[in-house]
Amino acid sequence: MKVFRSHILVCGGTACRASGGADVKQALAAELAKQNLADEIRIVETGCNGFCAMGPVMVVYPEGIMYVEVKKEDIPELVEEHFLKGRPLERLFYKEATTETPIPEIKEIPFFAHQELRVLRNKGLIDPELIDEYIARDGYAGAAKALTEMTPEQIVQEVLDSGLRGRGGAGFPTGLKWRFAAQSKGDIKYVLCNADEGDPGAFMDRSVLEADPHAVLEGMVIAAKAIGSNKGFIYCRAEYPLAIRRLTIAIEQAKDYGLLGDNILDTGFNFDIEIYRGAGAFVCGEETALMTSIEGKRGMPRPRPPFPAVAGLWQKPSILNNVETFANVGQVIDKGSAWFSSVGTEKSKGTKVFALTGDVNNVGLVEVPMGTPLGTIVFDIGGGIPKGKKFKAAQLGGPSGGMIPVQHLNAPVDFETVAELGAIMGSGGLIIMNEDMCPVDMARFFMDFCQDESCGKCVPCREGTKRMLEILTDICEGRGREGDIELLEEMAVIIKDTALCGLGQTAPNPVLSTIRYFRDEYEAHIRDKHCPAGVCTALFKSPCQNACPVGMDVPSYLALVRAGRFDDAYKILLRTNPFPAICGRVCDHQCQFKCRRATADEALAIKFVKRFITDNGLRPPVQAVPVTRKEKIAVVGAGPSGLTAAGDLAARGYKVTVYEELPEPGGMMRYGIPPYRLPRDVMAREIDDIQARGVDIVCNTRIGRDISFNELDESFDYIYLAPGAHRSQSLGIEGENSEGVYGGVEFLRDFNLDEDAWISRQKSLGSRVAVIGGGNSAIDAARVAVRLGADVTILYRRTRDDMPAAEEEIIAAEHEGVKIEYFVAPLSIKAENGKVAGITCRRMKPGDFDRSGRRRPVPVEGSDFTLDVDTVISAIGQQPDPEFVPGDIGISINKWSCFDLAQGRKAETTNEKFYAGGDAVTGPWTVIGAIQAGHQAAAEMDEAIRAKNGEPPWQPPEEEKIDIPFEIDEETEEQPQAAMPELESAKRIVNFAEVELGYSIETAIKEASRCLRCDAEV
């Protein structure tokens, strides 16, 4: 016996080899030889370890230390450090995706820790090319038992009792399939293994064949004994050369040992296996088509009955199971059906192997008990979604399957639940998709696949998939028509009912599934010619512009900045947005999340460049527009939405009066956002321009108090309600009414109204402040409190990633000394003499998933603690205050106190004279969202007025022609986003000066030059 002090298990799976694994192994062997360690340390090449995204990977025993992303250049250092000096090389440890904590031992890495390895029990642990290593792990013990101790009936019964169901997709009970074949009469029967894994995104079978080929052979031997067969075929894709090679070696070794061939284990039983290389046809994954293919013909399905158990390959009784099913069988027999069925759910026993791919941190091969919640697979094992993007859906079952969207993250993954949700278990391809996935495009992709792979034998599949593909393509390219969705649904049902084989019967599934969960996105494509995910390129010029609620022409103004034409750039900004200087400071910049530059290095700083333009370009002077129309229009609320609508209506020739309750116009921009983010003069200039168009703004006037609603109704022909959402939601806890408890927006409003009193400390928060909440108002309140001299702690009940506030705001708050406590929820406010003295909180921990895909916080019992504070600011959300609207006026208000809109309208309320928009309709939202609503309302009102009068639609005045230069760099050099110069935090917290200082001309031009010009058509 040769003893080694260490074994290095190098992954030899396809993915690791592709990322340089073979070179690494060679370099390792050479280095060990060079250091005279070859006799002490053994290198073992294993099959797929499963951690494919981290490849090449290796595990060193006895320590069990895993090294990831090993390059051949790393080898000398690794050998020197680990094997000579005995110091594990931390640099190559796996690092936890969010915290970057290095984790040395394989068993501690969450990706492995949550798995239950049964089918994959040998993956990465044995050399698949050495049969002895398989035998050492109880290999062939099941076959030996089946051949010597069991009758065929007992084998079938054991498999039946285990509850094992086919892992290839349909989930038919394996034992039942075997029983039918066993009962068929015939001297020749076949055992067939389906290794024609064709679903895109699926690689479970390949990994099993590469890592543990004998497990499949053993399962087939047992099946052969059970049904009385002497000949088996493995139908394996020619695209899997490594799997075929390992299988070939395994078959040879098994034959040498007498575990295959004649007189197996001296029992008198004969069984031989041949590998059949599939020549590339997806339909051959269907059982009858696969058999036809082995017969040497075009792989087309045959009608059933007769079923293969009666007349299969060459018309002889046959069974076909997939790789994973067979890989389970040896252990079912060896360890018994009760062991097998000890995990799983009622009707889905055992484990399931998934190929976890797509937008997930830990791409790879995973095995979990049936019934494991989807969220556990995606977040605990998969490590969540990369780059801070949001989970949108998981696609299960490939072209025959469907989506499981975010609201079902708690769903147990088993045959029944998955089917109820409109997907299928399939063979185990589990593709994670983030917010950038367009469901219509995805449905088109899968339909294209099915249409391409349809064998053409039956009409529903051949013609039906083609027609469905045409419709889907039309929708994706902007030619969708009303009724297309219903037509797709109708065709789907007919194809499902009438196609000859599984391919056609399941081909419509992805379409039905995406319509079920994402009908609104289909409608957006068809009605608005808009792709919300920014995928269907025929529908937009550039992804940034597509993502902007008002469709700002980002590539054009970036190009103009690059060319130094800042004045022209300013004109482009104002075409779609009356408040570019404001948005250049406070926008949530959806555009940047879709910027394609991020695939190369980082997204472009669109917001900062926008601000630069307004700082440096000449603000185009505004002319008053003469009033040409007789209809008088009132706007309630001088926030971004009301002012935008007023400006647009004035531009169309209407006389508009805006009523504002507070002393100055601006709404939340004036009384919510603090001046260090948005200086008041910057905002005032943009509002002046609205007034310059002829809009009257009447401040200090609340409807229902200063003028009655009736008076408003009688004085104006049309009214736009945009009062915003200025009332904090209550915490609903004891002590909330004590002195020193503020709502977040109420506090910010009071500060912004009465800044001098606060700054001169006539009004004070005291020295210790707790802010509750994780949105932008919570951060704003906290940063203001810091500037007022308080020691501030934010209490948030979830994780940082779950915070709705903008990432840059959270970082800024931290820099300014705000402490943030995560997983903390308030229980009660302690008051002394009616004044706040402290807040009692409870620690939380992550529970299951809510509909937004975030983990619900659940209390940790006995973790209560009290913070001594002088002030509590509760910023857990805002609501509109629609009380000024009389109940009998016919304007419907929903349970969130928001205005309802009329069916199919985007701004009109249920009373046709009244329109509404902004936060008062959506609940608290963004400035740019409010601007969009304002544009929408103005357009819809004007349209309605003209339609009523029988006038032609409004023709906007011709725009000045601004030619957009096209200049791009030939080679893209990696260059991250330019940083925004900021006031030092020490200087910030003593005053309310603007924190962000703005780009210099050089920086702005450099940043704008990073634009890849996705809008260009070459």
Residues 214-253 that bind another protein (CB under 8 A): 238-240, 253
Which one of residues 395, 427, 556, 777 is an interface residue with another protein (CB under 8 A)? 395
CB of 613 to another protein, least distance (A): 28
Q: 966-1005: which residues touch another protein (CB under 8 A)?
A: 971-972
Distance CA 378, CA 150 (A): 41
Distance CA 631, CA 651 (A): 14
Q: 410-429: which residues touch another protein (CB under 8 A)?
A: 429
Distance CA 201, CA 428 (A): 9
Which one of residues 234, 290, 370, 455 is an interface residue with another protein (CB under 8 A)? 455
Contact 503, 283 (CB under 8 A): yes
Binding of another protein by 526 (CB under 8 A): no
- What Cα–Cα distance (Å) separates residue 676 from each residue in 144, 342, 770, 931? 77, 61, 21, 22
Which one of residues 26, 33, 73, 136 is an interface residue with another protein (CB under 8 A)? 136
Closest to another protein by CB, 455 or 581: 455
CB of 388 to another protein, least distance (A): 16
Q: 290-319: which residues touch another protein (CB under 8 A)?
A: 293-299, 314
Cα-Cα-Cα-Cα dihedral of 368, 413, 851, 392, to 10°? 80
Cis peptide before 965 (omega within 30 of 0): no
Q: 635-694: which residues touch another protein (CB under 8 A)?
A: none
Binding of another protein by 961 (CB under 8 A): no
Which one of residues 31, 359, 568, 908 is an interface residue with another protein (CB under 8 A)? 359
Distance CA 361, CA 379 (A): 9
Distance CA 123, CA 100 (A): 26
Binding of another protein by 206 (CB under 8 A): yes
Which one of residues 26, 98, 101, 148 is an interface residue with another protein (CB under 8 A)? 148
Q: Which two tokens stand for residue 104?
A: 């040395």
Binding of another protein by 813 (CB under 8 A): no
CB of 520 to another protein, least distance (A): 21
At residue 237, the 3 state secondary structure works out as: strand
Q: 855-894: which residues touch another protein (CB under 8 A)?
A: none
Cβ neighbours of residue 182 closer than 8 Å, sequence gap 6 or more = 152, 153, 156, 226, 227, 228
CB of 49 to another protein, least distance (A): 11
At residue 829, the 3 state secondary structure works out as: strand
Q: 186-205: which residues touch another protein (CB under 8 A)?
A: 197-203
Residue matched to tokens 């599984």: 502
Closest to another protein by CB, 199 or 689: 199
Binding of another protein by 507 (CB under 8 A): no
Closest to another protein by CB, 64 or 303: 64
Which one of residues 83, 391, 566, 654 is an interface residue with another protein (CB under 8 A)? 83
The residue count for binding another protein (CB under 8 A) is 94
Distance CA 845, CA 903 (A): 41
Q: Which two tokens stand for residue 511?
A: 């379409």
Closest to another protein by CB, 1 or 895: 1
CB of 256 to another protein, least distance (A): 4
Ranges of H-type helices in 761-805: 776-787
CB of 177 to another protein, least distance (A): 23
How many CA within 13 A on the CB side of residue 274? 7
| Range in contact with another protein (rule: CB under 8 A) among 61-69, 373-381, 544-552, 890-898 | 61-69
Binding of another protein by 599 (CB under 8 A): yes
CA angle 592, 593, 596 (to 5 degrees): 80
Closest to another protein by CB, 254 or 569: 254
DSSP code, position 734? B
Binding of another protein by 625 (CB under 8 A): no
Closest to another protein by CB, 357 or 729: 357
> Residue 728: what residue type?
S
CB of 258 to another protein, least distance (A): 3
Q: 741-780: which residues touch another protein (CB under 8 A)?
A: none
Distance CA 229, CA 224 (A): 5
CB of 145 to another protein, least distance (A): 9
Which one of residues 96, 138, 734, 791 is an interface residue with another protein (CB under 8 A)? 138
Q: 434-453: which residues touch another protein (CB under 8 A)?
A: 436-437, 442, 445, 449
CB of 36 to another protein, least distance (A): 7
Distance CA 69, CA 49 (A): 13
Closest to another protein by CB, 83 or 379: 83
Q: 7-36: which residues touch another protein (CB under 8 A)?
A: 7, 9, 14-15, 17-19, 36
Among residues 469, 495, 679, 439, the alpha carbon closest in space to that of 582 is found at 679
Binding of another protein by 281 (CB under 8 A): yes
Strand ordering across the sheet containing 914-916:
696-698, 655-659, 632-636, 718-721, 914-916
Label residues 77-101 b or e (16+ Cβ within 10 Å = b). Answer: ebbebbbeeeebbeebbbbbbeeee
| Range in contact with another protein (rule: CB under 8 A) among 216-224, 355-363, 416-424, 652-660 | 355-363
From the number of C-beta atoms within 10 Å of its C-beta (0-12, 13-18, 19+), residue 295 rates as: exposed
Distance CA 644, CA 937 (A): 9
Closest to another protein by CB, 199 or 870: 199
Contact 625, 651 (CB under 8 A): yes
